[in-house]
C-alpha cells in the first residue's frame, strides 16, 4: 500500500474549473496492478469555433481512473491521437505499455445534436473489443460519456459499471448557528449537483426508489419530523407520514410498492411497512427497545434493522411477514445502519472499533465483519448498484465529506465538497 503514494498523487482528478458547489473526487488509495488504459481525447469533427461543451474522452478517463481498477495514460504521454481504427498503430501503444485503448469521434448531428462514436481495443491482440455510436444532445453528453465508461468497465472487468448513476446527499451550509440544509443529487462523479429541497430545519435519510425516479426523505420543516416522497425530475412531492414522535428511516421495497420506516407513534420506535398505494400501515417489529433503520433484502423477503434490545445497537433480521427476529452481528459493541449488497450476500454497516466508528462489511455466509475504513466518525454506508463500492460519510479537515471504498477495501476515494458539511449519502440504483 505504501508504494501507492506516487500513484495517489497522480490520481488527483481536478474538476476545479467550474466554481459551482460540486464534488471534487480524489483517489486516496489505488489498486496495485491497475489495468493500464489509454483514452484518447475524442476528436470533434465539426466547426472548430463551436466545439461540444463536454470533453467526453476526459470524462471517460476520469471514471475509469476513479474506479481504481484502471490506470489511465496521461495525454501528454500519447505519441499520437487517433480517432479512427485506420489511424491506430498498435505498436505505439504497446511501446507505452498500454493494455487497452479507447478512441472516439464527435460529429455534429442536426441543430444542437451530436453523434458520438467510440471503439475499445485490445492493444496486444490488435483488435476491437467493442464499438458503438450514440446520438445525443449537449445536455446528455456527460451521461453518454458515463455510459461509455460503463461499457468499457464491463467489457474489461466483467462487472456492470455504475458510472451512469447518481448519488443523493445532504449538505449543511451557511452560519453555524443557522445553517441551510439541502438535499442534493449529483452524478456519481459529483458533477451536475442540484438541490432538490432545502430548509432551515434538518433534512435527513434520503432513500431512492428502485427506479431511481423518487426520493423519500425526512424533513423537520414543520418543526417535527415527517417523511416525504419527492419526484426527482419534476420536484413534485407529498408528505407521507407525520405521526406523533419519530417519522424516520424510510426504505423502499425492491418492487417500489412499500416503504419501510421507523415510527414511534405507539410509544417507542418500531419498524412499520406502508403499502404506498393504499397508504395502509402495518407494524412489522414491536419491542420496547429502539428499532430503526429498516433495509430490504434484494429479493424483498427479509429486512434488516438496528435494535438495542440486547443492550447496545446491533443488526437484526426479520421476514417481511414478521415473526422471529434473528440477530446478525455479534462482533463489536456498536453496529448500526445496515443495508444489503445488491447480491444479498453481505451487508454494509457502521461498526465501532474501539472508540472509532467505521464502515464494515458483514459476510452473511461467515458472519464476520471486515472493517473497510479508518476514520473516526464514518457513517451512512450505501452500496453502488453494481456492488463494487460503498459510499459513506466521513470527516476530513474538520468537515463532513463523502468518500467511497471498494467492497474489498483496496480502493478509496474522497468526494470533497468545496463548501459546507456533506453527509448522509446514498447511491442510486440503475435507472429503469
Q: Does the footprint of other proteins cover residue 119 (CB under 8 A)?
A: no
Q: Nearest-CA neighbor of 291 among 332, 258, 263, 256? A: 263
Q: Does the footprint of other proteins cover residue 279 (CB under 8 A)?
A: yes
The secondary structure of 100-123 as a DSSP string is EEEEEEEEE-STTEEEEEEEEEET
| 299-328 b/e (C-beta count within 10 Å ≥ 16 → b) | eeebbbbbbebeeebbbbbbebeeeebeeb
3-state secondary structure of 309: coil
Residue window 299-318: x/- pattern of binding to other proteins, with contact defined by CB under 8 A:
-------x-x---xx-----
Separation CA 170–CA 215 (nearest Å): 12
Q: Does the footprint of other proteins cover residue 269 (CB under 8 A)?
A: yes
Provide, rounded to whole angstroms, the least separation between the CB of residue 181 and other proteins: 8
Q: Nearest-CA neighbor of 248 among 275, 268, 233? A: 268
Q: Does the footprint of other proteins cover residue 199 (CB under 8 A)?
A: no
Q: Does the footprint of other proteins cover residue 63 (CB under 8 A)?
A: no
Residue window 346-385: x/- pattern of binding to other proteins, with contact defined by CB under 8 A:
----x-x----x------------------xx-xx-----
Tell me the number of residues near other proteins by CB under 8 A.
56
Strand 70-72 and strand 35-39: the pairing is parallel
Q: For residue 258, give the C-alpha cell.
A: 412499500
Q: Does the footprint of other proteins cover residue 223 (CB under 8 A)?
A: yes
Of positions 66, 293, 402, 403, contacts other proteins by CB under 8 A: 293
Of positions 238, 299, 343, 363, contacts other proteins by CB under 8 A: 238
Q: Does the footprint of other proteins cover residue 236 (CB under 8 A)?
A: no
- Only segment of 102-110, 160-168, 261-269, 366-374 that touches other proteins (CB under 8 A): 261-269
Cβ proximity to other proteins, 219 vs 428, nearer residue: 219
Q: Does the footprint of other proteins cover residue 204 (CB under 8 A)?
A: yes
Cα angle 212-215-216, degrees, rounded to a multiple of 5: 140
Of positions 96, 240, 364, 371, contacts other proteins by CB under 8 A: 240
Of positions 213, 257, 282, 287, contacts other proteins by CB under 8 A: 282
Q: Does the footprint of other proteins cover residue 280 (CB under 8 A)?
A: yes
Q: For residue 208, give the C-alpha cell.
A: 431512492
Separation CA 68–CA 37 (nearest Å): 12
Q: Nearest-CA neighbor of 98 among 120, 117, 114, 118? A: 120
Q: Does the footprint of other proteins cover residue 332 (CB under 8 A)?
A: no
Of positions 43, 109, 198, 268, contacts other proteins by CB under 8 A: 268
Provide, rounded to whole angstroms, the least separation between the CB of residue 205 and other proteins: 6
260: left (phi over 0), alpha (psi -120 to 50) or beta: beta
Separation CA 118–CA 41 (nearest Å): 11
Q: Does the footprint of other proteins cover residue 245 (CB under 8 A)?
A: yes
Provide, rounded to whole angstroms, the least separation between the CB of residue 264 and other proteins: 6
Q: Does the footprint of other proteins cover residue 257 (CB under 8 A)?
A: no
Q: Does the footprint of other proteins cover residue 178 (CB under 8 A)?
A: no
Q: Does the footprint of other proteins cover residue 336 (CB under 8 A)?
A: yes
Separation CA 115–CA 110 (nearest Å): 9
Residues 6+ apart with CB under 8 A from 57: 39, 40, 41, 42, 102, 104
Q: Does the footprint of other proteins cover residue 323 (CB under 8 A)?
A: no
92: left (phi over 0), alpha (psi -120 to 50) or beta: alpha
Of positions 21, 281, 371, 416, contacts other proteins by CB under 8 A: 281
Which residue's entry shows cell 474489498? 408
Cβ proximity to other proteins, 136 vs 219, nearer residue: 219
Give the binding site for other proteins (CB under 8 A). 176, 201-202, 204-205, 220, 222-225, 227, 238-246, 248-249, 262, 264-269, 274, 279-283, 290, 292-293, 306, 308, 312-313, 334, 336-337, 350, 352, 357, 376-377, 379-380, 395, 398, 423-424
Amino acid at each position: 500500500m505504501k508504494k501507492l503514494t506516487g500513484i495517489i498523487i497522480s490520481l488527483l482528478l481536478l474538476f476545479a474549473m467550474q466554481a459551482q458547489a460540486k464534488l471534487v473526487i480524489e483517489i486516496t488509495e489505488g489498486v496495485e496492478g491497475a489495468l493500464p488504459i489509454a483514452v484518447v481525447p475524442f476528436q470533434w469533427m465539426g466547426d472548430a469555433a463551436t466545439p461540444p461543451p463536454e470533453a467526453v474522452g476526459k470524462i471517460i478517463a476520469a471514471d475509469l481512473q476513479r474506479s481504481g481498477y484502471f490506470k489511465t495514460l496521461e495525454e501528454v504521454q500519447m505519441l499520437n491521437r487517433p480517432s479512427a481504427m485506420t489511424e491506430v498503430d498498435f505498436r505505439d501503444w504497446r511501446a507505452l505499455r498500454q493494455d487497452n485503448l479507447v478512441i472516439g469521434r464527435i460529429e455534429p448531428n442536426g441543430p444542437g445534436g451530436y453523434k458520438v462514436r467510440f471503439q475499445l481495443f485490445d492493444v496486444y491482440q490488435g483488435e476491437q473489443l467493442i464499438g458503438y455510436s450514440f446520438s445525443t444532445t449537449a445536455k446528455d453528453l456527460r451521461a453518454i460519456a458515463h455510459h461509455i465508461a460503463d461499457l468499457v468497465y464491463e467489457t474489461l472487468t466483467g462487472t456492470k459499471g455504475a458510472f451512469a448513476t447518481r448519488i443523493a446527499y445532504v449538505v449543511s451550509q451557511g452560519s453555524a448557528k443557522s445553517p441551510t440544509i439541502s438535499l442534493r443529487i449529483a452524478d456519481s462523479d459529483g458533477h451536475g449537483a442540484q438541490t432538490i429541497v432545502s430548509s432551515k430545519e434538518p433534512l435527513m435519510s434520503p432513500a431512492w426508489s428502485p427506479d431511481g425516479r423518487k426520493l423519500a426523505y425526512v424533513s423537520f420543516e414543520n418543526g417535527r419530523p415527517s417523511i416525504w416522497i419527492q419526484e426527482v425530475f419534476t420536484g413534485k412531492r407529498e408528505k407521507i407520514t407525520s405521526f406523533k414522535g419519530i417519522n424516520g428511516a424510510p426504505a423502499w421495497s425492491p418492487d417500489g410498492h412499500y416503504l419501510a420506516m421507523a415510527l414511534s407513534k405507539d410509544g417507542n420506535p418500531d419498524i412499520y411497512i406502508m403499502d404506498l398505494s393504499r397508504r395502509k400501515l402495518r407494524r412489522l417489529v414491536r419491542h420496547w427497545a429502539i428499532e430503526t433503520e429498516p433495509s430490504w433484502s434484494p429479493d424483498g423477503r427479509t429486512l434488516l434493522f438496528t435494535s438495542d434490545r440486547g443492550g447496545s445497537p446491533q443488526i437484526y433480521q426479520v421476514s417481511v411477514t414478521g415473526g422471529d427476529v434473528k440477530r446478525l452481528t455479534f462482533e463489536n459493541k456498536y453496529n448500526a445502519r445496515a443495508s444489503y449488497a445488491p447480491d444479498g450476500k453481505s451487508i454494509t454497516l457502521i461498526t465501532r472499533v474501539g472508540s472509532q466508528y467505521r464502515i464494515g462489511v458483514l459476510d452473511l455466509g461467515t458472519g464476520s465483519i471486515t472493517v473497510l475504513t479508518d476514520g473516526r466518525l464514518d457513517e451512512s454506508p450505501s452500496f453502488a448498484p453494481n456492488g463494487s463500492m460503498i459510499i459513506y460519510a466521513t470527516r476530513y479537515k474538520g468537515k463532513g465529506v463523502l468518500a467511497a471504498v471498494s467492497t474489498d477495501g483496496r480502493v478509496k476515494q474522497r468526494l470533497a465538497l468545496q463548501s459546507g458539511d456533506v453527509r448522509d449519502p446514498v447511491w442510486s440504483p440503475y435507472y429503469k
